[in-house]
Amino acid sequence: MGLLDLTPTPVTLASGIVLNHVRAGTGPTLIFIHGAMGDWRAWVQQWDTFTRHFDCIAYSRRYSHPNPNALDSRQHNALVDAEDLEGLMDALGIARAILVGSSYGGFTALAMAVRAPDRVRALAAVEAPMMRYALRSKTGAPIAEAFLETSALPAREAFERGENLKGVQLLTGGIVGKDPGDIPAPVLERRMQNLRAARSLSLSDDEFPYIEPDVLAALPMPVLLMSGAETAPVHAAIFSAVTKAMPQARRRIVEGSGHSVSQQQPEAFNREVLDFLHDTLPDVRAAVVREA
């Protein structure tokens, strides 16, 4: 059964937050975490492959479709998302899991690994937007500042004025490295379905919290960091700085892809993640036959 054939189930966390999720497959538990303006549906091209080997969960982060949580705070960020993720694991009775996250979902995966390292078996993160790493880099700072000035800050100002469509267009354009007017209608429609998710981060007082390099370098679980070879300059700058801070992590660049590696090059993404898990987790090695 494909991902979109499933109906998401809401779970109320101990905090009162409601998260919708879908679950299928058998084996070690693996949780997919979508990006800033996505939702549980982002993993269509991974679902059939991974459910053959894993007990897979795809969920919508706090303000993403179809969650009902009211956006009443300017404190939302990856640290809050990590708290929600741990709450979801508690509610579903999951002691430990493999985390696979794209973009802000990758940031959430790393934040969860720092928050509760004993509960993360391994993690794969695609271009986690840890902006302060680029801002603290001599070569990355001008690139990050240009992104903030031309995309993030104008999007925030648009949201402040109630110009939600413009805010989503500016933010999407900056993230994928395209002119806001060139965003395909289906993509924009999905982004607008996740408007509250976009606003939650754009209007946050700390959208890009800083996790110290020594903390990332000390993470005990296997880590895979991935990036698209054709990604926007800001993501390339962040990726370069973060990978330098995490010499223990496996690093992979995927040809023919921009920021959304799992969607733009799904076969390469799936192969890289499966190979990584095959190489680092004995029980996965026994269950997953390496594909040529």
pLDDT at 24 > cutoff 60 = yes
For residue 292, the model assigns a pLDDT of 39
* CATH number assigned to the domain comprising residue 270: 3.40.50.1820
Average pLDDT, the chain: 95
Q: pLDDT tens-digit profile of 200-256?
A: 999 999 999 999 999 999 999 999 999 999 999 999 999 999 999 999 999 999 999
Asked if residue 157 belongs to a domain, the reply is no
Taking residues 24-38, report their average pLDDT: 96
Residue 131 to residue 48: CA distance in whole angstroms:
33
Number of domains in the chain: 1
pLDDT at 286 > cutoff 80 = no
Residue 98 to residue 110: CA distance in whole angstroms:
12
Residue 194 to residue 212: CA distance in whole angstroms:
30
For residue 289, the model assigns a pLDDT of 61
For residue 203, the model assigns a pLDDT of 97
Amino acid at the residue 56: C
With bands split at pLDDT 50, 70 and 90, how would you rate the model's confidence at 290?
low
Asked if residue 23 belongs to a domain, the reply is yes
Asked if residue 173 belongs to a domain, the reply is no
Asked if residue 167 belongs to a domain, the reply is no
Q: Determine the distance from the C-alpha atom of residue 281 to the mean position of all C-alpha atoms in its chain, rounded to a whole number.
A: 22
Half-sphere exposure of 218 (CA within 13 A, CB side): 10
Asked if residue 180 belongs to a domain, the reply is no
CA nearest to 171, candidates 204, 141, 139, 142: 204
Contact predicate 103/59, CB 8 Å: no
Residues facing residue 12 across a β-bridge: 18
Q: pLDDT tens-digit profile of 86-127?
A: 999 999 999 999 999 999 999 999 999 999 999 999 999 999
| Count, residues in the chain | 292
Q: pLDDT tens-digit profile of 168-206?
A: 999 998 888 878 888 888 888 999 999 999 999 999 999
Asked if residue 30 belongs to a domain, the reply is yes
Asked if residue 91 belongs to a domain, the reply is yes
Q: pLDDT tens-digit profile of 253-278?
A: 999 999 999 999 999 999 999 999 99
Full domain range(s) for residue 114 = 3-141+205-287
For residue 227, the model assigns a pLDDT of 98
Asked if residue 83 belongs to a domain, the reply is yes
